[in-house]
Amino acid sequence: MTATRPETHLTAPPSYIARALIVDDHPLFCDALALTLRALAGVGEVETAHTLSAALMRIEAPPSPDLVLLDLDLPDVEGLEGLLRLRSAAPGLPVLVVSSMTDTRLIEAALAAGASGFVPKHSGRDAFRAAIDALAAGQRYLPDDFVPGIETSEAQETIARLSQLTRQQARILELLCQGKLNKQIAWELSIAETTVKAHVTAIMRKLGVQSRTQAVLIAQQARFAAFVPEG
């Protein structure tokens, strides 16, 4: 029987999960998971999005979902980028990662990035029901066979720092990764160039780096570090 670990949730959980958003680019899996959530977990309304961009647009439009179930392997993001961007866009929204990749380092990295729990895609229906119950009770949900590492890796620390960025800061860092200058970022976001500079300074401070180049390298590291081969 799948069990939960009694860990305090990072954000205030909903007392009842009435509306869920599945973010996955496999329609058949989305349909099967939606049926499971409705039939076994008591979720009243389930919506789907096949890209992160579509998911971000959906959570901006009321009513907001009570829970997001996120696959990390989406066509428009890499690594933990999708989770980080969701957490920046909606800090109080619980995100349950549902992934076919179950390496311990990946699970730890997802938790460091702010995930409310982790369910392997191959799990049975009872695991998803248990996960929903755990989140509604304010607990994280982790696989039965998950054993946390003794030491926190550098990648985890990096991801934890990135998760502290605000939505605007995350967007600016994304544009920095594209090679945009402050002037170009200001024009694209319709803000003053001095505001961009202030955000860049705040980004570097939160990431613990001294230059824009280092900040970009940190972001790129998080994008790829989570995908580790299973031994």
Position 65 confidence tier, pLDDT thresholds 50, 70, 90: very high
Per CATH, the number for 19-136 is: 3.40.50.2300
Answer for the pair 226, 79: CB distance below 8 angstroms, yes or no.
yes
Q: Which of 81, 115, 80, 159 is nearest to 7 (CA)?
A: 115
The DSSP output letter for 178 is T
Answer for the pair 56, 171: CB distance below 8 angstroms, yes or no.
no
Answer for the pair 27, 50: CB distance below 8 angstroms, yes or no.
yes
Sheet with strand 95-99: strands edge to edge? 45-49, 19-23, 67-70, 95-99, 117-120
Percent helix, strand, coil in the chain (nearest 5)? Answer: 45, 10, 40
Residue range 44-56: average pLDDT? Answer: 94
Residue range 75-83: average pLDDT? Answer: 85
Per-residue model confidence as pLDDT tens digits over 86-124: 988 888 899 999 998 887 778 888 888 889 999 999 888
Position 202 confidence tier, pLDDT thresholds 50, 70, 90: very high
Instruction: Please tell me the number of Cα atoms within 13 Å of 72 on its side-chain side.
Output: 32
Q: Where are the domains of the chain?
A: 19-136, 154-225
Residue range 20-24: average pLDDT? Answer: 96
Residue 118 β-bridge partners: 97
pLDDT of residue 116: 93
**Mean pLDDT, the chain, as a whole number?**
82
- C-alpha angle 71-109-143 in degrees, rounded to nearest 5: 65
Class of the domain covering 154-225: mainly alpha
pLDDT of residue 154: 65
Residue with tokens 């959980």: 13
Residue 20 β-bridge partners: 46, 67
